[in-house]
Amino acid sequence: MAARFDFTITATDGAARSGVIQTPRGEIRTPAFMPVGTAGTVKAMLPESVRATGADVVLGNTYHLMLRPGAERIARLGGLHRFMNWERPILTDSGGFQVMSLAELRKLSEEGVRFKSHIDGATHQLTPESSMEIQRLLGSDIVMAFDECTPYPADEATARASMELSMRWAARSRAAFGERPGRALFGIQQGSIFCDLRAESAARLSEIGFDGYALGGLAVGEGQEVMFEVLDYAPAMLPADRPRYLMGVGKPDDIVGAVQRGVDMMDCVLPTRSGRTGQGWTRRGQVNLRNARHRDDPRPLDSDCACPACRGYSRAYLHHTVRAGEMIGAMLLTWHNLHYFQDLMQGLRDAIAAGRLEGFVQEFEAMREAGDIEPL
């Protein structure tokens, strides 16, 4: 294991890159998809099952964990890795996004955000300094700078003010992070959909200096077309030798498009959340297992998939358990979805390494257009 955090690009194909992030807790193969373990668990999964899907790293949510069970408590219990029984790398967000979307009575100032917990109504404050301290208590391997995720749509003046606030917070995050051997701090680019603001944000982050750089303020309602327009220029503004992390993305076709545009890391609740509502994601698109057309179908969700759900169960069984509200339906579909997402990442990594990303993307699109049921 590497004693320190490092990133090596091993292949490129157009703007796309594949590589390895080294951390003391293990390697992260890029492009990487990070399952979301909001409250100390990737929902409906045991951590060894998360690993079995191919995940190298999971994401923890600072906002949720600071409120329950509390960062100090997790620190006393040996840190988040031991707490949730996941010994590999953990990336934690800064809490900035979720405090603005989930907390009550939130008040944003230059200092930070004051808010009431959505769980028990208690008053808390998140600032660049407190976010760095909470992520330290959690034992995070990849710490995110505290920022404001600029809402969409925003006019240019609003987007500029928000970006400038995030850049001041980025500098305070960097100072508060200090020296943490083996741990990384990522800065977050803002600027909404404005190219000059993105460039200015990237320049200010590079000047501060981070171990990696995230693309923030995307996947917030702007739609894939607009997001891809930003991704056509924004990643290249960030230091080429550092990992680029697109936050909150996405659907499989979002992921493919982002990788084509030079993104190295992503996270999204989609595979886990949709697994709990009866949705399966496959090479052939999205399948709603609640639909009655599956109730007599002896075929697996995807006959070419090697996950436990597809190896052991019929669509009819998944339909039955999802409709009956049985936990195993959510467990199997979550596993399948995470497996498929990791399988997609492996396919992208292999294609980049082989210099055949364009062909891979063509096959990916053709398979989705063929429809979700394979011919009998």
Binding site for its own copies (CB under 8 A): 39-41, 43-47, 68-69, 73, 76-78, 83-85, 295-296, 298, 308, 312-314, 316-317, 319-321, 323-324, 326-328, 330-332
CA–CA dist 101, 62 (Å, integer) = 13
The encoded tokens of residue 131 equal 């976010």
Q: From its phi and psi, is residue 78 left (phi > 0), alpha (psi between -120 and 50) or beta? A: left
Nearest to 72 by CA among 135, 154, 1: 135
Residue 39, C-beta contacts closer than 8 angstroms, at least 6 positions apart: 61, 64, 65, 68
| Residue 264 annotated in active site | no
Nearer to its own copies, 158 or 277 (CB): 277
Nearer to its own copies, 134 or 259 (CB): 134
Residue 9, C-beta contacts closer than 8 angstroms, at least 6 positions apart: 17, 18, 19, 241
| Residue 304 annotated in active site | no
The catalytic position among 56, 254, 264, 267 is 267
Nearer to its own copies, 67 or 348 (CB): 67
Nearer to its own copies, 43 or 114 (CB): 43
Nearer to its own copies, 10 or 85 (CB): 85
CA–CA dist 294, 314 (Å, integer) = 9
CA–CA dist 203, 87 (Å, integer) = 35
The catalytic position among 13, 93, 147, 343 is 93
The encoded tokens of residue 55 equal 């995940």
CB 298, min distance to its own copies, A: 5
CA–CA dist 45, 230 (Å, integer) = 34
CB 271, min distance to its own copies, A: 15
CB 134, min distance to its own copies, A: 16
- The conformation of residue 324, written as its DSSP 8-state character, comes to T
Nearest to 315 by CA among 340, 285, 278, 283: 278
CB 313, min distance to its own copies, A: 6
CB 75, min distance to its own copies, A: 11
Active site residues: 93, 267
